[in-house]
């Protein structure tokens, strides 16, 4: 596993915009470039095969632990409010279908990957991983800037397409609403998913998350025309929804969510402790606990629900800023990320493995400027180098 430097493509910004990726430049809230044009991470075929095996094993473990937590009545430990327990259990019992999730892994090129956390319900960096880095590779190959035979682990687009086709063919999902916050990245992500769904026979329209309506007289959530929403592809965190004024509707609506309501359990960082409890000797799962102090001092403290590295405490450091500081925490054994030097300072890559349904399908990498992957992280493409 190496970090390689490359000259920027002459028209790289235009190329990103062509595939709907427009948030690549620094902003006040993301003060460094979101897309890394001048470097990539290189792997050998053997390393990628090992990552695939590890990630598939972890995917199976995550789903098994999710079911055990739900069926075992342990949702309170995961931070899920009591009024939602029956609805989450019903969603699991119905086997409500999933389209995707992302596993974030620590990996240095040798040995096993280790799970840092699961992005189960609202994973982003999707267009970057599925489309933009593939376009980047095609351009580099065409320009002769990487060796012939260089490839990527990247069937994300195909995997998601197949999963939408499965939902249409086997699960009767032929129409869905697609919803997100009014953020450029979120809107682009659900637009991409809507395009994939449409190609698979699932039609749908967009509405903002704050436009999703409720009525005491209706069994379903409602769109802006007060028409029932039967399936909602909702890029909106369940933990936001269950703290809203309409939270009670989550527990009794007949609207079916994509990602499903049972993902509230998968997405809790408390599941990391359940995974360690079930698979302590796997070599893939870090020790983790919901009992603070029981693992000693060399731990990372994370709120059960948090985003962009907020309110995370590394060993010997102060807690990062954020809005999740009042939540219960999980403690996870500290895993050292690999360090790569760049012109403006060190990079600490976290590998994001994408899962379509329950099958791993590709890799995306975000490299942080610190050991906590936060809003200063940059997406970096990757390559698999041909065997010499």
Residue 202 CA to chain centroid, in angstroms? 23
pLDDT of 124 reads 87
pLDDT in tens, the chain (388 residues): 999 999 999 999 999 999 999 999 988 877 889 999 999 999 999 999 999 999 999 999 999 999 999 999 999 999 999 999 999 999 999 999 999 999 999 999 999 999 999 999 999 899 999 999 999 999 999 999 999 999 999 999 999 999 999 999 999 999 999 999 999 999 999 999 999 999 999 999 999 999 999 999 999 999 999 999 999 999 999 999 999 988 999 999 999 999 999 999 999 999 999 999 999 999 999 999 999 999 999 999 999 998 888 999 999 999 988 888 889 999 999 999 999 999 889 999 999 999 999 999 999 999 999 888 887 789 999 999 998 7
DSSP H helices, the chain, are: 12-18, 45-71, 85-93, 126-127, 133-142, 156-170, 184-199, 238-241, 248-252, 263-266, 271-278
Q: What is the DSSP letter of 210?
A: G
Task: Note the pLDDT tens digit of each residue in 227-254.
Answer: 999 999 999 999 999 999 889 999 999 9
pLDDT score of 275:
98
Q: What is the pLDDT of residues 298-348, one digit of tens each?
A: 999 999 998 888 999 999 999 988 888 889 999 999 999 999 999 889 999
pLDDT value of residue 131: 98
Contact 99, 163 (CB under 8 A): yes
pLDDT value of position 171: 96
Strand partners of residue 180: 208, 235
pTM, two decimal places: 0.97
Paired with 232 in beta bridges are 177, 257
At residue 241, the pLDDT reads 94
Q: What is the pLDDT of residue 120?
A: 96
Tell me the CA end-to-end span of the chain in Å, nearest whole number.
16
3-state DSSP percent of the chain in helix, strand and coil, to 5:
30, 25, 45
């Amino acid at each position: 596993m190496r970090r390689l430097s490359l000259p920027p493509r002459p028209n790289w910004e235009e190329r990103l915009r062509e595939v709907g990726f427009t948030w690549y430049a620094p902003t006040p809230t993301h003060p460094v470039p979101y897309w890394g044009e001048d470097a990539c991470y290189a792997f050998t075929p053997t390393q990628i095969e090992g990552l695939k095996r590890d990630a598939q094993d972890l995917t199976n473990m995550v789903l098994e632990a999710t079911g055990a937590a739900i069926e075992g009545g342990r949702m309170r430990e995961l931070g899920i409010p009591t009024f939602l327990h029956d609805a989450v259990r019903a969603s699991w019992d119905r086997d409500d279908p999933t389209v995707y999730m992302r596993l974030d892994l620590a990996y240095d090129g040798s040995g096993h990957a280790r799970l840092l956390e699961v992005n189960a319900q609202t994973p982003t960096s999707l267009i970057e991983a599925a489309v933009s880095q593939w376009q980047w590779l095609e351009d580099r190959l065409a320009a002769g800037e990487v060796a012939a035979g260089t490839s990527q682990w990247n069937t994300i687009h195909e995997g998601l397409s197949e999963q939408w086709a499965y939902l249409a063919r086997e699960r009767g999902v032929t129409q869905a609403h697609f919803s997100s916050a009014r953020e450029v990245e979120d809107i682009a992500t659900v637009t991409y998913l809507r395009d994939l769904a449409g190609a698979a026979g699932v039609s749908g329209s967009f509405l903002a998350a704050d436009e999703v309506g409720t009525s005491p007289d209706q069994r379903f959530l409602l769109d802006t025309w007060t028409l029932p929403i039967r399936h909602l592809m909702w890029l909106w965190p369940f933990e936001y929804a269950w703290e809203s004024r309409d939270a009670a509707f989550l527990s009794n609506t007949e609207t079916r969510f994509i990602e499903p309501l049972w993902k509230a359990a998968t997405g809790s960082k408390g599941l990391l402790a359940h995974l360690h409890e079930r698979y302590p000797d796997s070599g893939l799962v870090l020790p983790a606990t919901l009992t603070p102090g029981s693992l000693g001092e060399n731990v990372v403290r994370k709120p059960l629900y948090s985003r962009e590295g907020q309110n995370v405490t590394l060993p010997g450091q102060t807690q990062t800023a954020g809005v999740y500081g009042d939540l219960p925490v999980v403690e996870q054994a500290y895993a050292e990320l690999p360090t790569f030097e760049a012109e403006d300072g060190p990079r600490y890559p976290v590998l994001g493995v994408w899962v379509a349904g329950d099958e791993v399908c590709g890799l995306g990498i975000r490299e942080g400027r610190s050991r906590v992957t936060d809003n200063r992280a940059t997406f970096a493409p990757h390559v698999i180098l041909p065997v010499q």
